[in-house]
Structure 1
Amino acid sequence: MSDATFLNWPFFEAKHRELSTAVEAWASANLPVSHADADAACRGLVAALGKAGLLRPTGADAGEALDVRSLCLIREILARHDGLADFSFAMQGLGMGAVTLFGSPEQRAWLEKTRAGTAIAGFALTEPGSGSDVAHTATVADVVPGGFRLTGDKTYISNGGIADVYVIFARTGDAPGAKGLSAFVLPADTPGLEVVERIEVIAPHPLAHLRLNGVELPHSALIGRAGDGFKIAMSVLDVFRSTVGAAALGFARRALDEALTRVKRVRASGGSLADYQMVQGHIADMALQIDAAALLVYRAAWTKDTGAARVTREAAMAKLYATEAAQQVIDTALQLHGGDGVRQGFAVESLYREIRALRIYEGASDVQRVVIARSVLGA
């Protein structure tokens, strides 16, 4: 097990330390799983996590808040053991985040299924023509008798093709930019929803390009009010961006563990690699980056949990630093492995592929820099 002394930091309560112990025990007994069939692996992981009760923190009961520290701790531990397990857990929370924060009692019936692991959630925001620029969403939700008709395309949708329900964002009315967006609950078996393409990426995950061919939804599918879609999307990301940093932190801790094992074991010039000051310098840098990332991640989570309405700046700092630092830590661990670092079957090779997407999704690194700068400048 990786160093867990950070759990003694004042960010955490006894319940978080107990949760960490329980999740670590489950992960040690059940992970990793085979990634040969990513769809089957994710279905199995969601069911197993649900059965173990570990998906309960991905949603909150009506009137209660999400515990962001719990979400971060679970993602960190799962990511350290298996990237696909982290993905499976995270998407149950992100996919149903809008329902947790703004959903009606009818819509929350889906939340109970996703928390139990009996349904898989998806979050459909990104489009071919608008990635980080959510305000330029082109998917349209026209008002029709009885509800709405949705037309448009969504791409790079996590759990696309295997989800049972999506939260989807579309433009309603004539308001420009962000003001014209709304959010909807879309069951995957709704007529007119098409999986155009399954997208293969360097670290296998269920991803798809979806098309809405005049999908008709009732008024009851609208989350919150028409025109609130941008506020809903940003509120969800405000919570879950910190957890992306936590997943990156888990990857980085695993990379450091692998590097420590390697440099202590490999012999060189009558000693071990760990005896070389150059190697010791690399290890020191890795440990420093990990602790700095952990402080930013759990500061953001603690700030949200203790009542802050928004933690946009803190979450952006956590995601940006933790994901960029994890990339560097993993690259260093790979370098210390020599040729084995790029060899399939070695943990650092897998980590090298897993970490790259975290610097893109839920707001790319350069977008986080803009968010932070605007906050500092008072824009």
Structure 2
Amino acid sequence: MADRSFLDWPFLTPDHKAHALALDDWAGGLGTIDHHDTDAACRALVAKLGADGWLMPSAIDPRAPAPLDVRTLCLTRETLARHDGLADFAFAMQGLGTGALSLFGTPAQQAEWLPLTRTGRAISAFALTEPQSGSDVANSTMTARDDGDAWVLDGEKTWISNGGIADVYTLFARTGEEPGARGLSAFVVPADTPGLEVAERLEVIAPHPLARLRFGGVRLPKSALIGAPGQGFRIAMSVLDVFRTTVAAAALGFARRALDEAIARVTTRQVQGAPLADLQLVQGQIAEMALRVDAAALLVYRAAWAKDSGAPRVTREAAMAKLFATDEAQKVIDAAVQLHGGDGVRVGETVERLYREIRALRIYEGASDVQKVIIARQTLASA
């Protein structure tokens, strides 16, 4: 059984613990998820998560007294990731894809989309990255031109999760109020809008629905604007402030599963008549893995607790959690593969799947090197 002692840490409440335990039981009944047809798997997972009520935390209710609970988001992602990476992906994208609507959308936008996404009847996506700008969001070149009664979108987005299967996209484009970051705006774009084309489906080492999208003269009503013109960068960063911490939580879930698999291996595998776990070198590896897991968990739930406690921005804390948890999870999983020997690289083994799944988390929503820049700037600014 996975270690659950962290659920009693002071960062978390009894309600958080109950949520995590109930979700763990639910996820245990998912059975084997088909990773060969990721589109179908993700559609089915979103529908099941929504039907059983687990998507409710992903679509923030702005009318609630406490509309945002990052600890619940993190616990959900950690738990689902420990069971299966696609289950985590299905949950996470519903939150990231509608985060801008939840936090900044008009009542009409929220009424149209949030009831659908939080019940799994619509799939959402977050369209920020572009072929040329990558992590440099401020240099986005996609344009949204004011054409009287409409906005006209032209350009491309790439590496868009849920691209090709989403029903709605939150999209960021340059409206040109000012140069750089202050000239971006956010829009809600239904997937069936004329001129929106799935230009390419992207295949990666751990299969997920990903696509490059092309926008050729896409006309949107003025009501598609989220927030005010020129607020797009601030909106995007506010959403990432929340969900960057949850990426760290997903990495933590992968790491916990790898540690569990490693413990099961070394306590049952015999070498010269004794379990592998009797070897001091193996004990040293297990100790380092456990240390990395707990240290990552402390950073993850500190960042989530800080946001839930009213901190207006947790940019530094979220960046630290994301950087450390993803990098350390990679090390934990690599150690688990090593302890499995040849079985560790055999297709179909749990640790082999984890090895492929963890790598992307050190890149998306801000690569590790970008997190270092953020941490350094925040630290220097407060000195």
TM over 0.5: yes
- One-letter amino acid of the counterpart of residue 118, structure 1: R
Distance 1:135 1:63 in 2: 31
**Alpha-carbon deviation of 1:350?**
0.2
Partner of residue 359 from structure 1, selected from 358, 362, 365: 362
**Alpha-carbon deviation of 1:174?**
4.6
1:15 counterpart = 2:15: yes
Distance 2:62 2:28 in 1: 33
Distance 1:30 1:156 in 2: 28
**Alpha-carbon deviation of 1:270?**
1.8
SS in 2 for 1:3: coil
Distance 2:328 2:269 in 1: 25
1:184 counterpart = 2:163: no
Alignment of structure 1 residues 327-346 onto 2, 5 Å: 327-346=330-349
Q: Deviations over 1:268-299 (max 9, x none)?
A: 12201100000000000000000000000000
Cα distance change, pair 374–31 in 1 and its aligned pair in 2 (3 A): farther
Distance 1:353 1:340 in 2: 15
SS in 2 for 1:127: coil
- One-letter amino acid of the counterpart of residue 46, structure 1: V
Alignment of structure 1 residues 219-230 onto 2, 5 Å: 219-230=222-233
SS in 2 for 1:39: helix
Contact 2:60–2:99 (CA under 8 A) maintained in structure 1: no
The equivalent residue for 2:61 is 61
The equivalent residue for 1:4 is 4
- TM-score, normalised by the number of residues in structure 1: 0.99
SS in 2 for 1:30: coil
The equivalent residue for 1:324 is 327
Alignment of structure 1 residues 177-326 onto 2, 5 Å: 177-326=180-329
Contact 1:135–1:178 (CA under 8 A) maintained in structure 2: yes
Contact 1:27–1:78 (CA under 8 A) maintained in structure 2: yes
Distance 2:177 2:232 in 1: 14
Alignment of structure 1 residues 153-172 onto 2, 5 Å: 153-172=156-175
Q: Deviations over 1:122-169 (max 9, x none)?
A: 000000001110000000000002120000000000000000000000
Distance 2:120 2:127 in 1: 20
Distance 2:212 2:119 in 1: 27
Q: How many residues align?
A: 379
- One-letter amino acid of the counterpart of residue 270, structure 2: R
Contact 2:269–2:276 (CA under 8 A) maintained in structure 1: yes
**Alpha-carbon deviation of 1:31?**
4.0
The equivalent residue for 1:48 is 48
Contact 2:157–2:214 (CA under 8 A) maintained in structure 1: yes
Contact 1:195–1:208 (CA under 8 A) maintained in structure 2: yes
**Alpha-carbon deviation of 1:106?**
1.3
Distance 2:13 2:333 in 1: 30
Runs in 1 of length 4+ with deviation above 2 angstroms?
62-65
- One-letter amino acid of the counterpart of residue 284, structure 2: G
**Alpha-carbon deviation of 1:243?**
0.3
**Alpha-carbon deviation of 1:60?**
1.9
Q: Deviations over 1:185-244 (max 9, x none)?
A: 000000000000000000000000000001000110000000000000000000000000
Unaligned 5+ segments in structure 1 are none
The equivalent residue for 1:95 is 97
Contact 1:140–1:151 (CA under 8 A) maintained in structure 2: yes
What root-mean-square deviation, in Å, do the aligned CA atoms of Structure 1 and Structure 2 show? Answer: 0.8
Distance 2:22 2:313 in 1: 30
Contact 1:59–1:66 (CA under 8 A) maintained in structure 2: no
Q: Deviations over 1:91-111 (max 9, x none)?
A: 000000000100011111201
